[in-house]
Structure 1
């Protein structure tokens, strides 16, 4: 298999699913795009090309497809409210609410952040990758906080290089369930696609290098269950990195039903309590800029319930 191909053994979690849904999930594209990939005869099962979207995969079958697909053009969406905290001729910084998807993907074709940004700043249509113009990094749907968007080709090149060289400051606040063994530390564990659950990421020896620093800010006890407020800082930027690393050391994020603890939550939340609080980077003309986002209401309410002394503003 070449690096341009993705090949998986169908796990129990995907057995019985339609092939168009499997392709959409693995490539993080819409069902329509998945059907186009199938129609172009780019997907095979156990070596035989499959074009019928309704074909259902079986446990243990080997599914092979392109590792990536060319994204389609997207349309601006004026209904998406975008909270812009900074803008100049090169860079936009937005404060993303939890629940908003950054760009179109599997099962999501409209109502994304990038479509809202495109409606307000049409010039970004030609910046960066087609299908996700201006986007240089992402936040998960359930994550709130700061995200930078390139408004010019110069900014796109500069910001992607800073991310590559680990020069961007990205700090997050998270509430975790469990007892961190140290007050601070670094989680250095490679991340790759999970073999058991291919729509998830996992710590894997053959994964991509990933490092996350953390510091414990507060500890709580709720009827014998340990919780902690942590500050995480990304040194690399893998998909779901903080969520995967936190779970790997036994302190999953509160509210994370994908990577977190399957026991009933000790506090009532609707999403993983993860907030991108601080974002710092060098603007294309050489000026360092740093921004801070206050905790959103849902996070603040939980901390108040726990008796936290952490500032909410």
Structure 2
């Protein structure tokens, strides 16, 4: 398994409106053309084992062969991997830790958005998906998020639900992206990596916004 360091602003797969556009997969295939000769499952081209939002930077695991991809996907499916993220929030709250355990589903009216289950009659599309996120303050406006589930937009909407929308995440109430945001950053979220059952991603560089806030530089 390889661990790639995905830059913020770079999509994992080609944009829908530009099949030949720059993306992590294109860069991977340019570096390792032999991966194009493998018949990977749809959605896992090149051996890419999972996804990150375009604005999210950080560790992205790539399987070396089909057998390894199957094994990795089994770990994800069984929720055997603990995934760790760092985020910058748009607001402050009086607490330092929070365990958010609320189901998520697709928004019935707005495509590409998720909703939290606030009650039995919450409007949604499809089925409710269990989701659990542990939040810990690690600096002023800086938080660690850990999860084993992996629902679309899980961290973004769980954080918004408890009053901690990600800075710049306009979809979930985080406001506009600051004018001094690093290149490629829309909202501030970084995947540190995952580990479980003897499998772990390799370390990747921390984004400037996280390292600066942690060191106070």
Shorter-normalised TM range: 0.7 to 0.9
Per the TM alignment, residue 104 of structure 1 is displaced from its structure 2 partner at its CA by 2.4
User: How far, CA to CA, are the matches of 2:199 and 2:178 in structure 1?
Assistant: 41
User: How far, CA to CA, are the matches of 2:24 and 2:150 in structure 1?
Assistant: 20
Per the TM alignment, residue 174 of structure 1 is displaced from its structure 2 partner at its CA by 0.5
The higher radius of gyration belongs to: 1
Report the equivalent of 1:93: 3
Q: Are the equivalent residues in 2 in contact too, given 1:124–1:150 (CA < 8 A)?
A: no
Which one of 6, 9, 14 corresponds to residue 104 of structure 1? 14
Residues 1-40 of structure 1 aligned to structure 2 (within 5 Å): none
Structure 1 residues 119 and 240: CA distance shift in structure 2, 3 A: same
Report the equivalent of 2:190: 275
Structure 1 residues 217 and 102: CA distance shift in structure 2, 3 A: same
Per the TM alignment, residue 289 of structure 1 is displaced from its structure 2 partner at its CA by 3.5
User: How far, CA to CA, are the matches of 1:298 and 1:215 in structure 2?
Assistant: 17
1:259-287 Cα shifts (integer Å, max 9, x gaps) = 2333x6677424211111133255xxxx5
Q: Are the equivalent residues in 1 in contact too, given 2:5–2:60 (CA < 8 A)?
A: yes
- TM-score, normalization: structure 1? 0.59
Structure 1 residues 122 and 258: CA distance shift in structure 2, 3 A: same
**Count of aligned pairs:** 203
Structure 1 residues 163 and 127: CA distance shift in structure 2, 3 A: farther
Per the TM alignment, residue 194 of structure 1 is displaced from its structure 2 partner at its CA by 1.2
Q: Is 1:140 matched up with 2:53?
A: yes
Q: Are the equivalent residues in 1 in contact too, given 2:44–2:50 (CA < 8 A)?
A: no
Report the equivalent of 2:160: 247
Which one of 128, 147, 162 corresponds to residue 40 of structure 2? 128
3-state DSSP of counterpart to 1:292:
coil
Q: Are the equivalent residues in 2 in contact too, given 1:281–1:290 (CA < 8 A)?
A: no
- TM-score, normalization: structure 2? 0.82
Q: Is 1:207 matched up with 2:128?
A: yes
The gaps in structure 1 that reach 5 residues or longer are 1-90, 220-227
User: How far, CA to CA, are the matches of 1:158 and 1:230 in structure 2?
Assistant: 30
Q: Are the equivalent residues in 1 in contact too, given 2:59–2:201 (CA < 8 A)?
A: no
Per the TM alignment, residue 240 of structure 1 is displaced from its structure 2 partner at its CA by 1.3
User: How far, CA to CA, are the matches of 2:145 and 2:56 in structure 1?
Assistant: 13
Report the equivalent of 2:88: 175
The gaps in structure 2 that reach 5 residues or longer are none
3-state DSSP of counterpart to 1:276:
strand
Structure 1 residues 95 and 251: CA distance shift in structure 2, 3 A: same
Report the equivalent of 2:206: 295
**RMSD (Å) for aligned C-alpha atoms:** 2.4
3-state DSSP of counterpart to 1:171:
strand
3-state DSSP of counterpart to 1:202:
strand
